[in-house]
Structure 1
Amino acid sequence: MSQTNKDNNIVTLKSASNSFEETPKDAKPPKSKFRWRVVDDHSPKEIYNLTLYFSVVIFGVFGGLSRGLDEGQSINLYQPSFRNLFGLNDPNKTPHEVADLKSNIAAMVQLGSIAGSMIAMYTVDKLGRIRALQEFSIIWAIGAIIQMTSKNLGQLYVGRFIEGLAIGQSTTIGPAYMVEVAPPLRRGLFGCIFSGAVYLGILLSYAANYGTAKHISGETNKQWIIPISLKVICAGLAFCGSWFCVESPRWLVKHGHDQKAIEKLSQLRHLPPDHPYILSEISDISEQVAAEDAATRGVSIFAKFKEVFSIKSIRYRFFMIGACAQLLGQWSGANSITIYAGDLFSFIGLEGLEVMKMTMILGVVKFVSAYFSAFFIIDFLGRRKALYIGISLQFITILYFAIFLTVDPHAVDKGAQLTSSQENAGKAAMAAIYLSGVGWTMGFNSIQYLLGSEIFPLRHRSFCQSLIMVLHFANQYGNSKAVPSMLLGMNRYGTFYFFSGICLISLFWAWFFVPEVSGRSLESMEEVFNLPWYLIGRKGAQLCPDHSALNRITQSIQTRGLDDLEKQNEQHVEHINRDDESSGDEKNT
């Protein structure tokens, strides 16, 4: 593209966005009415289309499935054939040795995921979102195949570590892509497609293990190999589907492919390239990228790492929101309940197939609640209220489970004679496990991938999201390793009092430090995080409304109508072209 054309494009974009700032004084927006979910009346209806939905499904669903299928695979630890092959039924091992072996198997993926998150710092920005997804799919399939063919513990560890290399990247690739292509009012929903797919994966893995445990003999390894084969199938579908996805326009602008970015955004939005909505969105992206490039051109990855500590607004976002969300979320007990659900159900007297059936039901509950939160809570109520509700429910239910284990510790003993009240208390404890999962999916799980992807500027987005995922998997690794020993050393109930205490601290954190960013454009986040630190969480949204061009155009569409805006935009383009022709004539003269 020539320099003249570039200048024309810039002027056109600025003119298009600036022309929407003023609205007639007598124009009144339509009266708002209560709706039980977010309805976008202000944007062109064409932006919600099959092209967008397909790309979101490939990046969100299959990326999330990789996490969920692994977490659900933890139920393999209770398959007789798996336990016999890998030494979990060895009578010569002490309970502490069995607990340590169990934690090593469960945590090996988290260890690989730490390395995978570091790799994502390079691949997601360097290769692009689509190529990074294809690379992730290949590594995921290789790790799963190595596990399926394992004949000893060492090979199993290698396969799970390689799978972790893929999963660590998925938590950056999926959320980063979806928040970049999502319209602002649907960003929470699209971001939660990933976190919801985690529980779809858990459900599929739990159901597959329950089915093989029930219908396949415990003497054959097919009992645990068949559930793992789901990973190879999903990796293949993700790889094939990626060839039909649309690359992130924001990534294209960042790497200097401006014209291609307009074409891809037009393809994603199903609007012509000169449509006011396309021009305004590209204007916001280009303006932010230009400002970042001018300030940081040629900066190395080490300089980016330094900026996380030295730039006030980035430091707050990384430590007070991203890092705290991972630290508090992982130690609130939810993932421990998912990974060691079999142990927890055995605490209330369940055995054998009943344990697997209850874990499958837990998978159903978490899957349904995750997508209920995605469709009806995270964008409708906002990030903060979703956190309040979810963490409060998690706190109450985990506290009840701890009290149950304290008051009636012998109810979990084999052969214990229970009174009717003890049996009812045990059923309530089982319900508490399910409800704690609902609280987790409504609260921490809704924002642990979403916030890190949407609050950082484009220059830092994938880098900081990768660092946050390093903390995510480091905490999950420590949690997976620690919980079996905590259950032995803290009299069971002590572990759950610890988790409930973390939930209580998390409520204060959500109120004081987390700002409401629901519905804001990605380019408008900077104003919120440049406030004094003690105002960002409590008052950020009120003190810094969204002034982006994309927000102005949606407001103008609401008050003035799209036809008027398109006509005005054409007049600006014609005016610019006439000015260019006049300038050319003067030069020739």
Structure 2
Amino acid sequence: MAGGLKKPVNIFKLKNLGEPKEVFNWRLWFAVVSFGLLGAARGIDEGLISGAFNSKDFQKTINYSSYNTVDQANIKANVSAMVQIGSVAGALFAFLICDRIGRIWATRQLCVVWIVGISMFMGANGNLGVIYAGRFIAGFGVGQTPVVGPVYIAEIAPASIRGLCTCIFTGFVYLGIVLAYFANYGCQVNLGDVSHARWQVPTSLHIMFAGLIFFLTFFQCESPRYLVKKGEDEEAMQVMSRLRHLSPDDDYVVREMTAIKLSHHAEMEATAGVGWFGVLKESFGDRSNLYRIGIAIGAQIMSQWSGAGSITLYAPDLFSLLGITGTNENLLVTAVFGIIKLAAAVACALFLVDVIGRKRALLLGITLQALSMIYVAGFLTAVPELGVVTGYKLTPAEEGPSKGAIAAIYVSGFGWALGWNSMQYLLTAELFPLRIRAFCTSLAMTFHFANQYGNSRAVPNMLLPTSSGGLSPMGTFWLFAAITIIGGLWVFFFVPETAGRSLESMDRLFNLPWYKIGLHGNQDAEARDQVFDEKQMRAEHDTATAGHVEMRSRTNESRV
């Protein structure tokens, strides 16, 4: 028997799932990193745009000073959020092209669109219409990344490290943020604030990453699960063999491919000949799938309105609000903020998401985020002049709490990276059956970008004083704190633990009664898995025994 099961050598997993040591090989990690780089698309934009917009040269180029305070807030919000509007369309488009031309070619086309949009933005020469159009087109490419990247990674990763592999995508979000923050800081210090290079050099990070990802796709294979879906079983077997670094007839590869094909064939038989209407009917007409959609969409709404994403986008402005003065100091503090979020994402990927599980990591992150938001909101309540009275300077008694508020922003970033920002991609990528996975992931990411747009577009106006129609900084952070707490309660009661489960076994989890899924789902589903595995083993044993008896009977007949 080729390649019998060997003791796994992988410390970053929830439990022993029996993978041979060959499974954790360089080809797998190369593929995961190549598609994980797609996460940098969002991170780079979130980290760059606020610093670029605050460049005096950029403001001069668009004649920013000629507008009143409210118009300035609207222009800043529009420029910053235009990528999110484009991303809504990109996320909707992603499932069509991802299922039509495959994960590899979908990645190549989004890289081209991304580069075209950023090139328009950089060459707009102050024309706000071209700036908006360029950022919308770039968003159309960027919006496809959280659909294509996590779906591909989840489809090639072994179950025991699927959380780790998918969180690598999240880690690259923060790598993009860190590079963007430091690019802004370095160009501010070394190039000054009066040349186009001050904001165009950092913006070129977009083109560098898009080009690198496009190049790396030529060294990768299509997802085996996608190939099975297209009926190319032989090629799927070869790709899985290559990814697992095992021969095609190895027990592990055969078993994994058999499970994928059986699951897909069962889906196809249940929905034969119904086309796109069947995808919609299966998504919204099946109780278990509807529950999954509810989790995926709920995660996007709760995470985006918890406020952490807008803190990343407008970090320099918020640090100024809390008492950081000076452009260089502000950008440096912002860059350190990016490093902290990157460290949290790495910690989550390596030591938490597959070790303590998705749900515990998410609740831990939400708790840190909620405590931080409450502290910042309390500080702004105690010093209501901040963000309301122009040029207000902190008193000596207020400087200590101000530093505490800045530290709380750091803690909120750590909690965000540990919790919501990792789980909103991971849960979405692993919840759904193969037939509807791309569509449901696109649907969830559409809500992701729609809510991200709404939040990022609203925050500059929300921070305005109540006299100007805003909530004031104090009211904005109290709102974020309340939504974060509500999100934590929702996760506790309704989101199940999915760590360690194969993608094909999710059905047994979500076929439980709805009131059991969130609190007790994984335990009950594991018991069902054991029963299912025992039945499957008995069936395989009975088949083998029957075959052996038939062979002996034929042998005896030939002798007679």
What residue number does 1:272 align with?
A: 247
Contact 2:13 2:160 in 1 (8 A): no
The secondary structure found in structure 1 opposite 2:170 is helix
Q: How does 1:216-235 map to 2 (within 5 A)?
A: 216-235=191-210
Following superposition, the deviation at residue 417 of structure 1 comes to 5.5
- Structure 2: which amino acid aligns with 1:530? N
What residue number does 2:35 align with?
A: 59
What residue number does 1:137 align with?
A: 111
- Structure 2: which amino acid aligns with 1:252? L
Q: Provide the C-alpha distance between the structure 1 equivalents of 2:527 and 2:180, rounded to a whole number of angstroms.
A: 42
Following superposition, the deviation at residue 349 of structure 1 comes to 2.0
What residue number does 2:76 align with?
A: 102
Contact 1:523 1:548 in 2 (8 A): no
- Structure 2: which amino acid aligns with 1:111? I
What residue number does 2:467 align with?
A: none
Following superposition, the deviation at residue 497 of structure 1 comes to 0.4
Contact 1:285 1:523 in 2 (8 A): yes
Q: Provide the C-alpha distance between the structure 2 equivalents of 1:258 and 1:37, rounded to a whole number of angstroms.
A: 29
Pair 349,427 (structure 1): closer, same or farther in 2 beyond 3 Å: same
What residue number does 1:128 align with?
A: 102
Q: Provide the C-alpha distance between the structure 2 equivalents of 1:103 and 1:258, rounded to a whole number of angstroms.
A: 48
Q: Provide the C-alpha distance between the structure 1 equivalents of 2:452 and 2:372, rounded to a whole number of angstroms.
A: 21
- Structure 2: which amino acid aligns with 1:166? G
Q: Provide the C-alpha distance between the structure 2 equivalents of 1:49 and 1:96, rounded to a whole number of angstroms.
A: 55
Q: Provide the C-alpha distance between the structure 2 equivalents of 1:442 and 1:66, rounded to a whole number of angstroms.
A: 19
What residue number does 2:332 align with?
A: 357
Contact 1:103 1:480 in 2 (8 A): yes
What residue number does 1:7 align with?
A: none
Following superposition, the deviation at residue 37 of structure 1 comes to 6.4
Matched, 1:307 2:288: no
Contact 2:302 2:483 in 1 (8 A): yes
- Structure 1: which amino acid aligns with 2:490? W
Pair 307,232 (structure 1): closer, same or farther in 2 beyond 3 Å: same
Pair 548,58 (structure 1): closer, same or farther in 2 beyond 3 Å: farther
The percentage of aligned residue pairs carrying the same residue is: 43
TM-score by length of 2: 0.91
Contact 2:15 2:500 in 1 (8 A): no
Following superposition, the deviation at residue 298 of structure 1 comes to 2.7
What residue number does 1:470 align with?
A: 446
What residue number does 2:517 align with?
A: 536
Offset from partner CA, 1:403-425 (integer Å, 9 cap, x none): 00010223666665544431110
Offset from partner CA, 1:82-128 (integer Å, 9 cap, x none): 111123333xx221110000000011001100110111121111111
Matched, 1:330 2:329: no
- Structure 1: which amino acid aligns with 2:87? S
Q: Provide the C-alpha distance between the structure 1 equivalents of 2:301 and 2:195, rounded to a whole number of angstroms.
A: 40
Following superposition, the deviation at residue 297 of structure 1 comes to 2.2
TM-score by length of 1: 0.86
Following superposition, the deviation at residue 36 of structure 1 comes to 8.3
The secondary structure found in structure 1 opposite 2:478 is helix
Q: Provide the C-alpha distance between the structure 1 equivalents of 2:307 and 2:180, rounded to a whole number of angstroms.
A: 20
Pair 279,242 (structure 1): closer, same or farther in 2 beyond 3 Å: same
Alpha-carbon RMSD: 2.9
Following superposition, the deviation at residue 310 of structure 1 comes to 1.5
Following superposition, the deviation at residue 334 of structure 1 comes to 0.5
Structure 1 residues without counterparts, runs of 5 or longer: 1-11, 21-29, 557-567
- Structure 2: which amino acid aligns with 1:297? A
Number of residue-to-residue matches in the alignment:
538
> Could you tell me which of 448, 452, 456 is aligned with 2:432?
456
Following superposition, the deviation at residue 579 of structure 1 comes to 5.7
- Structure 2: which amino acid aligns with 1:279? V
Offset from partner CA, 1:261-281 (integer Å, 9 cap, x none): 111000000001111100110
Contact 2:163 2:426 in 1 (8 A): yes
**Structure showing greater relative contact order (alpha-carbon pairs closer than 8 Å, 6 or more residues apart):** 1
What residue number does 1:492 align with?
A: 473
- Structure 2: which amino acid aligns with 1:340? Y
Q: Provide the C-alpha distance between the structure 1 equivalents of 2:498 and 2:481, rounded to a whole number of angstroms.
A: 27
Following superposition, the deviation at residue 384 of structure 1 comes to 0.9
After superposing the two structures, state which structure 1 stretch, 40-49 or 530-539, moved more. 40-49
> Could you tell me which of 211, 221, 244 is aligned with 1:236?
211
Contact 1:284 1:548 in 2 (8 A): no
What residue number does 1:565 align with?
A: none
Following superposition, the deviation at residue 40 of structure 1 comes to 5.0
Contact 2:14 2:355 in 1 (8 A): yes
